[in-house]
Chain A
Amino acid sequence: MAYNFDRIIERRNTNSLKWTQYPADVLPLWVADMDFLTPEPIRDAVRATLDHGVLGYEFLRHRTQQVVAARMERLYGWQVDPDWVVAVTGVVSGFNIAARAICNPGDGVLIHTPVYNMFYTLYKHLKLTQQSAPITFSTEDNVLHPQIDIDSFAGPFHTNSAQTRMFLLCHPHNPLGKTFTSDELQSMAEICLQNDVTIVSDEIHSELLLNGSKHVPLATLSPEIADKTITLVAASKTFNTAGLFCAFAIIPNAELRARFNQVNEEITGHVSSLGLIASEAALSGSCDDWLNELLLYLKDNRDFVVEYLSENFPDTRFTVPNATYLQWIDFSEYVRSGQMDKLPFDFFLEKAKVALSSGTIFGEGCGNFVRLNFAAPRSVVAEGLERMLGSLK
């Protein structure tokens, strides 16, 4: 391998959220960034800007829009007009802006549950009504297979006395690591179209594919679906540039785009120039060989975690994600049997000194789950698992 993902990079001496949130004796396997170097071509682009030295105002350039569009074409054959591409500071602000552009207070926004914790902020902050389509699991040995049942997807539309206006999709799914298939996407999108519901598809993890799995952007299914969809993409997860805060919304529908732009302007966020520069470098393809190796490494990490859990934690159930670097693990049995006297997140933080993400933040009834971030050198992941195992003895 040309890239050394085993290398430990000390992050405690930085302001890293992941590495400074908890005391120094806690090993952090939680917030979704990677403990790997951001690839060299991106850092070179930032270095070149610093060497030039004038850090003035930068606007979204047509060239950056073209780079985003070209990447969609190259990865998925999706023909994106560069004018459809809008810069935002992140996907979280992206779906916040989208919800403001699409909904009025009280309106319903449908989500899958469990789902990325920040999705829930819409209900609180924008006074929108939650409508939940639960993702269920089939279990095979210890492995959880997330499933969407189309009836339970259609069921929550217009419930809780609210008109559903928006479906916020997490694709690939965080924390379940699932890429939705064309068929699944098609049936969900059809129901949305029938109900005049706009779809906001958070595809931030779309390039973190493990095991040669495939990502189908929802908007590529048909022009009608694209016309009702806002797709959110970013270089930040894939290329580890989360701190630079830059993402893109792709909005084919001109009227929807105009509303999105208006709300974006009203909010007056600012995308940093280095974020735009890094995104352009990342999405241009200059880091793709790095990405290929990263994906191999992450897949091996995933397999390592799966094997470790199977051997050492026989009573857990867990996903085998085909995208993202996040693993969803069910410790219900350990709680039920009394081996854990508190929620798994609290138990591992206290007894194993390992910080995971608590299942509680991803949805109701998920307290016995944790999300483990395996985007770290193998030795770090191994140490985390060993600590967790040790805490149960």
Chain B
Amino acid sequence: MWVADMDLPAPPQILNALHKQVEHGVLGYELPSKALYEVVAARMKKLSGWEVEPESVVYIPGVNSGYTIAARILCSRKRGYLIQTPVYNEFLETEHKTGFPQRVAGLEIRVEGNRIRYEVDFDAFERQVKKVGMFLLCHPHNPVGKIYSPAELKRMVEICIENDVRIVSDEIHSELLLGDVNFIPPASLSQEVAQHAITLVSASKAFNVPGLACAFAIIPDENIRKKFNDMILTMSYEVSTPGLHAARVAFSGKADSWLKALRRYLTANRDFIIKYMETNLPGVRTIKPDATYLLWLDFSKLKLKPSPYEFLLKEAKVALSNGAIFGKDSDQFVRLNFGTTRSVVEAGLERIRKALR
């Protein structure tokens, strides 16, 4: 119950489109059609009312290729990038990959009984943002499942713009909304923000096609887009044609009924786990994610040795993601992936409960 893909088949509409490609049978070089960019733009409009010019859409092999490229054009050895820990572990690799310094404005934890939530630490944010060229935002946030509020987004982007810092927003989880919540891309807040933002989207999480390796960067600023495209050529990125086909189908809306059912299923999984934890494992603090299929669990009260991750792997035979990989001070946390069938979720929780008896 670790790496973030789902144990569920991709929607039939996507699988059918790929089958069609295989049945046509010539798997040669392709260029994305103009229609693909239009489909991506139309999806943004439909989901959040964000008006995107098809010309500002660029295809890339993955969101992590996207922010790696962005770092290379926006950062330097002097001005690094800003992240909010705990955060998606690959964000933390960017320093090692690019040689640009990482600055951290950690999210502030709030504890209410057994429930935790996270808030932006604006003091730290304002201090750190002055040292960077890009703010790498994870929205919705992995691993804590947070959707930033419009007020938080506005304040963060204002501070970025004041300091001439670009916002790179990884929105790979933006279609995995749980329950009745709203998602707003920061770039949709205003033209000015859009001009300062690189938004990274992909069908890979919501429609479970990460293996096809395809994502998009939406870059309204022409100058930044040109630099981004040049870097794609320089680094010689290549995207598979099934990835492009799957994205086109996913963003066209043809699989939206599937997605709706998926969201209901994931929401029920989330609620089931939280209830299970409250009933059976009251010492574990939980978060209630607004999005993603990831649940951030705080085991610090149980003092498991050597760490909750290792303890549960060894004693419960359940592989979770080790909190330590998401930033410092997170080693008492684990991330649980509930993008799987209920029976697997139940079996995993049972194992954890028994190991902690």
Contacts and interface: CB of A to CB of B under 8 A. Distances in A.
Interface of A: 9, 11, 14-18, 20-21, 31, 33-38, 42-43, 46-47, 50, 52-58, 89-90, 92-93, 96-97, 121, 125-126, 240-246, 265-275, 278
Contacts of A270: 61-62, 65, 213
Given A55-B208, A55-B211, A273-B212, A245 B240 contact: yes
Contacts of A266: 68, 97-98
B181 interface: no
Nearest to B246: A55
Contacts of B65: 267-270
A36 B211 contact: no
17 contacts: A15-B30, A16-B30, A21-B31, A53-B15, A54-B7, A55-B10, A56-B5, A56-B211, A57-B210, A57-B211, A89-B237, A243-B30, A266-B68, A267-B68, A272-B240, A272-B243, A273-B211
Contacts of A17: 28-31
Contact of B29 (A33, A47, A57): A33
Nearest to B15: A50
Contacts of B25: 9, 37-38, 43
B284 interface: no
Contacts of B213: 270-273
The listed residue with most B CB atoms (<10 A of its CB), out of A11, A18, A58, A273, is A273
Contacts of A9: 24-26
Contact of A33 (B5, B7, B28): B28
The listed residue with most A CB atoms (<10 A of its CB), out of B15, B61, B238, is B238
Interface stretch (B122-130, B228-236, B344-352): B228-236
B5 A93 contact: no
Given A47-B22, A268-B65, A271-B213, A31 B236 contact: no
B241 interface: yes
Contact of B28 (A55, A89, A243, A271): A243
Contacts of A53: 9-10, 15
Contacts of B212: 55, 272-274
A245 B233 contact: no
Contacts of B10: 53-55
B261 interface: no
Contact of B24 (A14, A90, A274): A14
Contacts of A52: 9
A273 B62 CA distance: 13
Contacts of B26: 9, 11, 14, 16, 33-38, 240
A278 B22 CA distance: 11
A215 B240 CA distance: 29
The 9 closest A-B pairs by CB, nearest first: A53-B9, A273-B211, A33-B28, A270-B213, A56-B5, A272-B240, A243-B241, A96-B236, A89-B238
B262 to A, nearest CB: 13
B239 interface: yes
The listed residue with most A CB atoms (<10 A of its CB), out of B15, B19, B213, is B213
B31 A269 contact: no
Given A31-B29, A50-B15, A267-B235, A56 B61 contact: no
Nearest to B240: A272
B240 A244 contact: yes
B238 A92 contact: yes
Contacts of B240: 243-246, 272, 274-275
Contacts of B201: none
Nearest to A122: B236
Given A46-B22, A47-B22, A52-B9, A269 B28 contact: no
B243 A269 contact: no
A298 to B, nearest CB: 16
B6 interface: yes
B32 interface: yes
Contacts of A241: 27
Contacts of A89: 61, 237-238
Contacts of A274: 18, 211-212, 240, 242
Given A243-B241, A273-B212, A121 B28 contact: no
Interface in B215-250: 233-244, 246
B31 A268 contact: no
B15 A121 contact: no
A35 B6 CA distance: 36
Contact of A50 (B22, B68, B244): B22
A17 to B, nearest CB: 4
Given A89-B61, A274-B212, A275-B240, A244 B27 contact: yes
Contacts of B8: 54
B241 A15 contact: yes
Contacts of B111: none
Nearest to A20: B31
Given A15-B244, A17-B29, A92-B236, 4 more contacts: A16-B28, A243-B28, A272-B240, A272-B243
Contacts of B243: 272
B33 interface: yes
A121 B30 contact: no
A17 B27 CA distance: 11
Contacts of A243: 27-30, 240-242
A382 B59 CA distance: 37
B228 to A, nearest CB: 14
B242 A268 contact: no
Nearest to B241: A243
A71 B131 CA distance: 52
The listed residue with most A CB atoms (<10 A of its CB), out of B18, B21, B24, B29, is B29
Nearest to B94: A268
B235 A96 contact: yes
A58 B68 CA distance: 21
Interface in B233-278: 233-244, 246
A274 B19 CA distance: 12
Contact of A245 (B6, B24, B239): B239
Nearest to B11: A53
Given A55-B209, A245-B240, A47 B19 contact: yes
B241 A269 contact: no
